[in-house]
Amino acid sequence: MNECPPPPDDRILGLKVDVDTRRGMEEGVPRLLSALPADTAPATFFLSFGPDNSGKAVYQALRSPRFLLKMVRTNAPGLYGMKTALYGTILPAPMIAQALPGLCREIEARGHEVEFHAWDHRAWQDTLPRKDNRWIREWLDRGLSSYEGCMGHPPRAFGAPAWLLTREAVAVLSGYPWEYLSCTRAPSPFILSGTGRMEVPSDLPCLEEVGGPRGTGAILAALSKGGIHVLPVHAEVEGGIWREALAEILRGAASLGYRVAPLSEIAAMLGSRNLPVRPFGTALLPGRAFPCSV
């Protein structure tokens, strides 16, 4: 008996590239633009526009300025780089995408998509659960005005930093004209209650969660079942020391019959399906230090 051919949208891979740091923008994005030709690997870049306060995470974790000074002396290397680990503490916080509007527009000119990820990424990630609607609205408005200043048009979508939502955030987000959201790590797309908007989640694990380059097999195993998937990518990481691992995933996906599509196309494709309507939940995913929205 002949096997039925798979439907044309059976194997689609979205690349959601988050840019969280100045270094990711300045160094990771140009490398990814070289590595991802838009005709075969059109990606959707979610940019952070405001201050890079990455160092506050380290500072919060260590609570010790002396440890930070020791890191400076030893020039400790790391995935995110030494300077990044100090931004917003003993080094001033540089602006991320807002400081590089030409590069923002180049992403789009090269055939990729640019969407809105953050004003102050760390502030959302570290303090959102304590913030009220007004703070969230101001954070969004500053970021959106920066986005429009750089790009000359509004974004289609928002991807919440650290895949973190609160009920207050959902209430505020419902007042903005997003075409879709990409704010969670849910296993499949849904309509986010209270917003009426489609949530296109990053359903695959990111490389950091599967042990780095040796974990590419876990991602390809998840792809082997077919369907529509979104891979979360970080410009700092897959546009940095793990870029060969990303290339390996893309080769593997191609050999499994996947076509890479931008997230707006995936959202349009899913728009014709009868997606469940539900609120977001919270889960601690394997390989992650903090819970995220699902």
Residues engaged in binding Zn ion (CB under 5 A): 18, 20, 161
User: Considering the complex, what minimum distance in angstroms separates the CB of residue 121 from Zn ion?
Assistant: 6
User: Considering the complex, what minimum distance in angstroms separates the CB of residue 144 from Zn ion?
Assistant: 17
User: Considering the complex, what minimum distance in angstroms separates the CB of residue 223 from Zn ion?
Assistant: 23
User: Considering the complex, what minimum distance in angstroms separates the CB of residue 161 from Zn ion?
Assistant: 5
Measured from the CB atom, the residue of 18 and 115 that comes closer to Zn ion is 18
User: Considering the complex, what minimum distance in angstroms separates the CB of residue 179 from Zn ion?
Assistant: 20
Measured from the CB atom, the residue of 93 and 220 that comes closer to Zn ion is 93
Measured from the CB atom, the residue of 159 and 258 that comes closer to Zn ion is 159
User: Considering the complex, what minimum distance in angstroms separates the CB of residue 276 from Zn ion?
Assistant: 26
Measured from the CB atom, the residue of 186 and 220 that comes closer to Zn ion is 186
Measured from the CB atom, the residue of 250 and 292 that comes closer to Zn ion is 292
Measured from the CB atom, the residue of 116 and 258 that comes closer to Zn ion is 116
Distance CA 152, CA 19 (A): 19
H helices of 152-278, in order, are 167-173, 216-223, 243-255, 263-270
